[in-house]
Amino acid sequence: LALGEDLTEPAAEAYYRLASALESASGYSEAIDAYSTAVDYCQRRGISGMADVCFACLAPVMVKTGEWDRAVQVCRSILDAGEDAPVNARMVAAGQVGMVGVLRGETKHARRLLSDSHAFARRHDVFGLEVEAAHGLARLDALGGRADEARQRTRELCERIADRQERHYSVAALRWAATSFARAGFEGEVARIAELVSRKAGGLGPSEAVVGLGHALGELALLRGDVAGAVEHFTSCADRLGHVV
């Protein structure tokens, strides 16, 4: 309707909401296409701020699908724009560049980027961004050998997730948390994560949250010596995840 009536800003918002809905439903390839269409539309119509927001939203999807180089390129273009880009787009970009650095083990600038992103998210109650940045910081602590700090940060992150109904960005963080606690032998923590993910997965069907539950149950089975059960859970997770990191 907005396109038919040539209502530029409502049409841009509709493109953005479609892409966001596809991302939340784990339709990542479709979300990348939708965000790209939204960016192109906004740029052609001169809505630069909205274009930057949609452009920034491409990055987390690309990180999930392993397109790290492309994600960093997108984010750098936003960060290089400075104050010409909206601050929320810049903070998403900073967080994703930091996360890619952590995933690659290239941690030199990651803490500053993730800390800036996390502080902005907490201040403005952008929960998805908060989760992603806190997840990155916990992994960064673990990479640096700061095991106690990593575990404390991870516990705090799990507490924050438990208080909210968010079912998308939380899942990757909870999957990593389950593995981290399992490696340290904290069976109670892993069981608590499994229970938390089960609440998020309830009624959702074949979704990323269901994969998160299978992942946590696999870690729990392995801790309890049920190797066959763990293999079954992890194999099912791998089949469902496909190309998602």
pLDDT tens, position by position, 114-172: 999 999 999 999 998 999 999 999 999 999 999 999 999 999 999 999 988 777 788 88
Residue 138: per-residue pLDDT: 97
Q: Which residues does 92 contact at the CB level (< 8 Å), separation at least 6?
A: 56, 57, 59, 60, 75, 117, 129
What H or E segment, with its residue span, contains residue 216?
Answer: helix 208-223
Retrieve residue 2's tokens.
């907005």
Residue-wise DSSP of 83-114: GGS-HHHHHHHHHHHHHHHHHHT--TTHHHHH
Instruction: With beta carbons less than 8 A apart as the criterion, state whether 91 and 79 touch.
Output: no
Tell me the percentage of the chain whose pLDDT exceeds 70.
89
Does residue 220 register a pLDDT over 70?
Answer: yes
Overall size of the chain counted in residues: 245
Confidence band, pLDDT 50/70/90 cuts, at residue 223: very high
Mean residue pLDDT of the chain comes to 85
Q: Which residues does 165 contact at the CB level (< 8 Å), separation at least 6?
A: none
Does residue 1 register a pLDDT over 50?
Answer: no
DSSP structural state of residue 82: G
Report, as an integer, the average pLDDT of 12-34.
Answer: 77
Does residue 242 register a pLDDT over 80?
Answer: no
How far apart CA 129 and CA 109 sit, in angstroms, is 18
DSSP structural state of residue 242: T
Helices and strands counted in the chain (H then E): 12, 0
Residue 2: per-residue pLDDT: 42
Residue 3: per-residue pLDDT: 41
Q: Which residue has the tokens 């909210």?
A: 164
Q: How far is CA 26 from CA 79, 131, 138, 208, 237, in A?
A: 27, 17, 24, 6, 14
Confidence band, pLDDT 50/70/90 cuts, at residue 21: confident
pLDDT tens, position by position, 169-183: 888 899 999 999 999
Does residue 22 register a pLDDT over 80?
Answer: no
Residue 203: per-residue pLDDT: 53
Q: Which residue has the tokens 């892993």?
A: 190
Lowest pLDDT segment from 11-20, 122-131, 215-224: 11-20
The alpha carbon of residue 203 and the mean position of all alpha carbons in its chain are separated, in whole angstroms, by 21
